[in-house]
Amino acid sequence: KGKSRGIFNMKGDDELCRFPSFFKLILSARLCLQKLEIPRKFVENHGEKLSDLVYLITPTKAVWKVDVVRKDTRAWLQNGWAEFVKFYSICHGHFLVFRYKGYSHFEVVIFDMSASEIEYPTSSRTGSKRKRATGIPIAPASIKGS
């Protein structure tokens, strides 16, 4: 207890319950679709808490707006996802961990094929006003309820 575990700053097993998470192994076929399916079990358990727009927050505190598209009991990260993938050079074999922090905010950690966390690019994605790829200013990650 009390040890820091990466960006999640876990204080104990109780934190694991409070902040549900899921991971995705990126395969070439998923990249071609330009969308990423949120695991069905996560959607079953937490989908009603997600708005049609979520915020992906990287360890550098860059914030990306990504639309959630739903069909029946399924949901995908879609509009904005391709820009996120391109900016972080996500490719086949990368492993992403999504930790849901509430208010449609996810912390995202990206690992490459060496099983190491990537070096996150910082150009044009950090600062007091963060912008998505389209240049629209969005709220800092610390503001909840957006």
User: Does residue 59 fall inside a structural domain?
Assistant: yes
Domain holding 53: CATH number? Answer: 2.40.330.10
User: Does residue 12 fall inside a structural domain?
Assistant: no
Question: Which regions of the chain are under pLDDT 70?
Answer: 1-17, 123-146
Give residue 59's pLDDT: 97
Give residue 142's pLDDT: 43
User: Does residue 11 fall inside a structural domain?
Assistant: no
User: Does residue 138 fall inside a structural domain?
Assistant: no
User: Does residue 80 fall inside a structural domain?
Assistant: yes
Give residue 31's pLDDT: 85
Number of domains in the chain: 1
Give the residue numbers spanning the domain of 108.
19-117
DSSP, residue by residue, 82-129: HHHHHHTT--TT-EEEEEEEETTEEEEEEE-TTSSB-----TTT-SSS
User: Does residue 123 fall inside a structural domain?
Assistant: no
Q: Which uninterrupted H or E stretch holds 42?
A: helix 40-46
Give residue 53's pLDDT: 97
Give residue 16's pLDDT: 52
pTM for this predicted structure: 0.74
